[in-house]
Structure 1
């Protein structure tokens, strides 16, 4: 638990923000000039934080927004998730965690602005970059270029979102909180792949967006050729050093993604970015006339269900100022809060004063803002990462730490140093509240491995994975019957796949498994097997761990098996790639909704084992039990460290994929703790369902509270 005076002061501060609401944000007219955004005739220097509504729950939103506000954040920035909102063409979903309007109204209630990144391509380490998978089936479509089918659906969805915002009065021009909108996303990364249509598409997208008449400016990030009046912005960790600036002197300098840490994949370690490094680059961006900085992420949250893109873990930007569960990370949160306060105390000269640059040494500079009417502020920069520098500015000596910036109020008094964090560090603590080690509380059921004769859909080739699954499941069975015409000595099954995971079964027994990674795109396996006389059933389960989220020509990406051969005595004797295969999409447990409270015990043709009979270390096995909600309001996590790979549901809602068996180079799982939001729980009687793909021990699963200790 948070303890001591620091924790008490923090709790009081958040409570005051929550009960006060801060006054609903009502921006009015939003324009811009070369210095900043202008809201109701006043220049604004704004700090923004990314919080994605579907990566948390409606119950969490008020607290997350309140903590952001208390940390000096002025704007909440979010993507709009096309594939969540339009799962089928023309059918829309804005319920629950998808309730974009409710999220924005909560931001408005707490007195903050909104930057709405419609995209509708978003990347975001989100499945398929936010694009609906049904777009793949549109004839003649090519994504994100001057292609009429894609532009038709992109325009429809963008218009849908804009009209929804207008109908709720949420644009600043209507008195609402939305002061910015984004069209497209980091298109400059792929524009070169479309030499004939890329530039035309950029112009079209900008014209289409502006034509929707939102009354607020539009932005394009990583888009140097953003057409007027759209503002081009920077993404990255060091935009004060890397950004060449807006493409017009009449546009402000904006940073839409200041990466507070970085994403993490299965098999990868977390990326730790220090509070001091973030503060340095924020201060440098402001010193170079930057007037809008957004932290990506301020709160990352959780990739619930199957929403993460290829190989990404469930926890998203856990090292952000607010961690995956919404707890404050110190000193990052507090150091940035103090930076925001220092900069805001000098707002007038920063936005109105004359800007000059002075050399203070070979790696030292002074950025000075001020005049007789606006006052003065200076940023003294030491770019030497190894040594302290003593500089003289206006006849006064200043000692600058390595790679640091000192902010001088009135160009004299140091009010903030980027390399000096004054905030005590806190540590995250997990406290076990429940072991699930009683065998009598579990029941289990194992999937039946389908053979060729069990399938109804067949083809004389290895078909592409996603064309069959439509991404409604991670799983696709490929089955074939094989009766060797002559003896096969030392048989080896050779498999090549563009999917992420492959499990090979021969006559219902698993003989081998393999997987790729974010860097290894092709899975190749040589599996020694045994064959029986007569007919042999070869069943291969292809599994995906999310679709890719970026790159040109996503619509052409293919997955699943590409080659299956039988090697006898070291020689390829049979090539099954063009043989007749039978297919089964998904798992039986998925089809019957085994994870749903109303269906859990009615799972024909599957049958649960009697309670107390726990099948450990069995592949393709479902486990279920009930549990009570722990008291209190601390975040809860499920520790699945004794399992292998699979997915977990609580009361029918998926808390995400797990892959504990995919270890980092240090021999650790990338993630073993999985967030159960309290909003997913009932007062009593919660259903836990686990699908284990490889084999694990559910009796080692436990439930823990998460809190922080202050040092």
Structure 2
């Protein structure tokens, strides 16, 4: 036991100081006291200000000490030098609500965040900085990264939000999972890590900094773990002077269109947490604790509008049982022995082939034990300190006195609480709907022209998901059926020949490119070719994001007099976005700028169609959703607020839509006369959608 005593002595004397928050080899130290902390990710941008108090209160009630959030650069500085911290982007207001409820905060500044957020949180203007290489030992990038980081830190300091100033922020993060891409930058990677760490520490926040999944994080920055089972996969901090922290324990996983939801059980999450603490972990953050909604065009490529709906607090902020309650009981069980866990001498020994005891002893009579069974199929009977214990498959029992079991990770006392949906309003009357068909632009009226196919990101600057590619082809008829062939790195393509819809195709999350091919009818002589390239979010991960491209790569017509005619280097005209977007017809004022028509069966199931109607808000305070099960693909707005992209027509392998319900925050609603506008890309029927409320019982 000499090595155990030495280890305890080492962590006692090797604290690293930062104002009122320090750390040693065992834990974070706040106001002089070691802490075991449970944290949960709640993103202010994925909820609304009126939801924040309830979300934070439910997190605290669930036994959490800390709320973790990213900082989203692209919403705060959408235009270089122009900042936005209003409404859902009120970072200070969010942090002050955390403070008001007596909780701590962990601020992940990044400023690269990934997070299934479009472009990983980078503003699109950043890619136009001359000579820039993102996330590398590159001077232009470092200048702008440091400028934004410093701006956020100074903003926090001005509001006295760091713990060193008496505020809630006890921990900050710089960069994000950089180790995943570091090898791609070769010799430019390691110097960048050192620079980022030194730059962050130099901000003098008075609280520690972390780098997640970065085992070469230089002192005093703490390297942390992200993953499903950090108790099994984390090699530990890279210094004995640093605590073992888990910044992302994935409570489920994000979902993509065409993909099924990932369901992670309460038992599995609890097992992973108990094992991490048993192996000297002292900080666990649930990613996500509240999933939320990817409003507007904020989601990254192919990611659904609903985000981590399987979290302990679902997309709407409702408690999801048994996950929320089981974890609450786990937190209480661990906290019961926290003093011994934080100050006791750790040891571990085998209880069987797949069974183990992790024991912490402080003084005579102070003993905490975690008895684990890693066998996922079979229960095990073990003997510990002359007493017999039955351990269910893949479970950990917690004994705060090394005698009595007060919690087992596999034994769930909370019952599953299903969500119930009540239809509040149908929109099935044609006369309630008006429609407007967006136009197909003409080549002569396009302001951008080139003799090649241009990159969609460079042209749109992400102000729209849509880019028109327009050209013409002089056709000489033959006996062969012409076929339009398009190679694209976009996500969706819609093809029109002489203003008539030919068809559409789409890719998927795992494929960077796809092919559209369709027979077409061509007139003798000139034919207009209009191709609408569609993005469903920008990429959020990987090296060299500044080099990523979208849009058409090759266009040919097969079955011509020459066999195949390559149009790739023809003269192409480009139009960014749609007429309805330009006029903002999803707002009350903008909707008056076009002539709307009555809707009947003949005006549904058409591409490029806008629909509008009005409705009254449902009574009560239950969360509100739009059931868009009869629509195809597009975007929805309530009173000018985008509730996100919908893509009901993209089915999973089981033949069902990935998402049909779309959250309508009550924050967006007036008591009556709410304007609902849908833009339908490929064809749907708005007369079959409904406005519903969702509730749970027995929580």
Which range, TM-score by smaller chain? over 0.9
Residues 488-499 of structure 1 mapped to structure 2, 5 A cutoff: 489-499=480-490
Please tell me whether residue 237 in structure 1 is matched to residue 235 in structure 2.
Answer: no
1:317 match = 308
2:618 match = 630
Query: Residues 439 and 614 of structure 1 are in contact (CA less than 8 Å); yes or no, is this contact kept in structure 2?
Result: no
Query: Residues 475 and 560 of structure 2 are in contact (CA less than 8 Å); yes or no, is this contact kept in structure 1?
Result: no
**Is the partner of 1:195 in helix, strand or coil?**
helix
Please tell me whether residue 379 in structure 1 is matched to residue 367 in structure 2.
Answer: no
**Is the partner of 2:406 in helix, strand or coil?**
strand
After superposition, the Cα gap between the structure-2 partners of 1:572 and 1:104, relative to the gap in structure 1 and judged at 3 Å, is farther
After superposition, the Cα gap between the structure-2 partners of 1:463 and 1:252, relative to the gap in structure 1 and judged at 3 Å, is same
Aligned pair partner of 2:215 in 218, 224, 229: 224
Residues 21-100 of structure 1 mapped to structure 2, 5 A cutoff: 29-100=20-91
| Pairwise CA distance, 1:456 | 2.8
Please tell me whether residue 674 in structure 1 is matched to residue 665 in structure 2.
Answer: no
- Cα deviation digits, residues 466-508 of structure 1 (max 9, x gap): 1110000000000111112564731111100010001110011
| Pairwise CA distance, 1:674 | 0.1
Query: Residues 186 and 221 of structure 1 are in contact (CA less than 8 Å); yes or no, is this contact kept in structure 2?
Result: yes
Aligned pair partner of 1:655 in 610, 624, 643: 643
1:108 match = 99
User: Considering only aligned residues, what root-mean-square deviation do their CA atoms show, in Å?
Assistant: 1.3
1:9 match = none
Query: Residues 121 and 184 of structure 1 are in contact (CA less than 8 Å); yes or no, is this contact kept in structure 2?
Result: yes
1:166 match = 157
| Pairwise CA distance, 1:574 | 1.2
- For residues 545 and 707 of structure 1, the distance between their equivalents in structure 2, rounded to whole angstroms, comes to 30
Please tell me whether residue 602 in structure 1 is matched to residue 590 in structure 2.
Answer: no
Query: Residues 42 and 68 of structure 2 are in contact (CA less than 8 Å); yes or no, is this contact kept in structure 1?
Result: yes
**Is the partner of 1:194 in helix, strand or coil?**
helix
Residues 276-425 of structure 1 mapped to structure 2, 5 A cutoff: 276-372=267-363, 375-425=366-416
Please tell me whether residue 683 in structure 1 is matched to residue 671 in structure 2.
Answer: yes
- For residues 363 and 574 of structure 2, the distance between their equivalents in structure 1, rounded to whole angstroms, comes to 77
- For residues 570 and 500 of structure 1, the distance between their equivalents in structure 2, rounded to whole angstroms, comes to 32
| Pairwise CA distance, 1:374 | 7.5
After superposition, the Cα gap between the structure-2 partners of 1:564 and 1:488, relative to the gap in structure 1 and judged at 3 Å, is farther
Query: Residues 19 and 207 of structure 2 are in contact (CA less than 8 Å); yes or no, is this contact kept in structure 1?
Result: no
Structure 1: give runs of 5+ residues left out of the alignment.
1-26
1:5 match = none
Query: Residues 475 and 523 of structure 2 are in contact (CA less than 8 Å); yes or no, is this contact kept in structure 1?
Result: no
- For residues 28 and 370 of structure 1, the distance between their equivalents in structure 2, rounded to whole angstroms, comes to 30
| Pairwise CA distance, 1:451 | 2.9
Aligned pair partner of 1:705 in 681, 690, 693: 693
Aligned pair partner of 2:197 in 206, 211, 214: 206
2:683 match = 695
Aligned pair partner of 1:449 in 425, 440, 444: 440
| Pairwise CA distance, 1:613 | 7.9
Query: Residues 444 and 613 of structure 1 are in contact (CA less than 8 Å); yes or no, is this contact kept in structure 2?
Result: no
- For residues 464 and 313 of structure 1, the distance between their equivalents in structure 2, rounded to whole angstroms, comes to 24
| Pairwise CA distance, 1:534 | 2.1
Query: Residues 355 and 369 of structure 1 are in contact (CA less than 8 Å); yes or no, is this contact kept in structure 2?
Result: yes
2:3 match = none
- Cα deviation digits, residues 315-362 of structure 1 (max 9, x gap): 000000000000111000000000000000111100011111121111
- Cα deviation digits, residues 390-448 of structure 1 (max 9, x gap): 00001100000000000012100000000000112100111101001111111001011
Using the size of structure 2 for normalisation, the TM-score is 0.96
| Pairwise CA distance, 1:672 | 0.4
Query: Residues 174 and 209 of structure 2 are in contact (CA less than 8 Å); yes or no, is this contact kept in structure 1?
Result: yes
Query: Residues 329 and 426 of structure 1 are in contact (CA less than 8 Å); yes or no, is this contact kept in structure 2?
Result: yes
Query: Residues 123 and 185 of structure 1 are in contact (CA less than 8 Å); yes or no, is this contact kept in structure 2?
Result: yes
- For residues 348 and 500 of structure 1, the distance between their equivalents in structure 2, rounded to whole angstroms, comes to 53
2:628 match = 640
Aligned pair partner of 2:423 in 424, 427, 432: 432
After superposition, the Cα gap between the structure-2 partners of 1:644 and 1:570, relative to the gap in structure 1 and judged at 3 Å, is farther
Query: Residues 255 and 303 of structure 2 are in contact (CA less than 8 Å); yes or no, is this contact kept in structure 1?
Result: yes
Query: Residues 19 and 206 of structure 2 are in contact (CA less than 8 Å); yes or no, is this contact kept in structure 1?
Result: no
Query: Residues 478 and 560 of structure 2 are in contact (CA less than 8 Å); yes or no, is this contact kept in structure 1?
Result: no
- For residues 199 and 260 of structure 2, the distance between their equivalents in structure 1, rounded to whole angstroms, comes to 41
- For residues 447 and 94 of structure 2, the distance between their equivalents in structure 1, rounded to whole angstroms, comes to 45
| Pairwise CA distance, 1:624 | 0.2
**Is the partner of 1:413 in helix, strand or coil?**
coil
1:664 match = 652
Query: Residues 440 and 613 of structure 1 are in contact (CA less than 8 Å); yes or no, is this contact kept in structure 2?
Result: no
1:527 match = 518
Query: Residues 417 and 697 of structure 2 are in contact (CA less than 8 Å); yes or no, is this contact kept in structure 1?
Result: yes
Aligned pair partner of 1:121 in 112, 131, 134: 112
| Pairwise CA distance, 1:373 | 5.9
- Cα deviation digits, residues 269-309 of structure 1 (max 9, x gap): 00000000000010000000000000000001000000000
Please tell me whether residue 508 in structure 1 is matched to residue 499 in structure 2.
Answer: yes
**Is the partner of 1:271 in helix, strand or coil?**
coil
**Is the partner of 2:626 in helix, strand or coil?**
strand
Query: Residues 352 and 374 of structure 1 are in contact (CA less than 8 Å); yes or no, is this contact kept in structure 2?
Result: no
| Pairwise CA distance, 1:573 | 2.5
After superposition, the Cα gap between the structure-2 partners of 1:483 and 1:302, relative to the gap in structure 1 and judged at 3 Å, is same
- Cα deviation digits, residues 30-79 of structure 1 (max 9, x gap): 00000000001100000000000000000000000000000000000000
- For residues 374 and 308 of structure 1, the distance between their equivalents in structure 2, rounded to whole angstroms, comes to 53
Structure 2: give runs of 5+ residues left out of the alignment.
1-17
Aligned pair partner of 1:460 in 439, 451, 454: 451
- For residues 480 and 656 of structure 2, the distance between their equivalents in structure 1, rounded to whole angstroms, comes to 39
**Is the partner of 1:483 in helix, strand or coil?**
strand
> How many pairs were matched up?
682
1:3 match = none
- For residues 103 and 479 of structure 2, the distance between their equivalents in structure 1, rounded to whole angstroms, comes to 71
| Pairwise CA distance, 1:150 | 0.5
**Is the partner of 1:564 in helix, strand or coil?**
strand
Query: Residues 255 and 292 of structure 1 are in contact (CA less than 8 Å); yes or no, is this contact kept in structure 2?
Result: yes
**Is the partner of 2:397 in helix, strand or coil?**
strand
**Is the partner of 1:304 in helix, strand or coil?**
coil
Using the size of structure 1 for normalisation, the TM-score is 0.95
After superposition, the Cα gap between the structure-2 partners of 1:373 and 1:101, relative to the gap in structure 1 and judged at 3 Å, is farther
- For residues 677 and 48 of structure 2, the distance between their equivalents in structure 1, rounded to whole angstroms, comes to 20
- For residues 544 and 654 of structure 2, the distance between their equivalents in structure 1, rounded to whole angstroms, comes to 35
| Pairwise CA distance, 1:136 | 1.2
- For residues 705 and 32 of structure 1, the distance between their equivalents in structure 2, rounded to whole angstroms, comes to 46
| Pairwise CA distance, 1:533 | 1.9
Please tell me whether residue 247 in structure 1 is matched to residue 238 in structure 2.
Answer: yes
2:606 match = 618
**Is the partner of 1:338 in helix, strand or coil?**
helix
- Cα deviation digits, residues 655-687 of structure 1 (max 9, x gap): 000010000000000000000000000122100
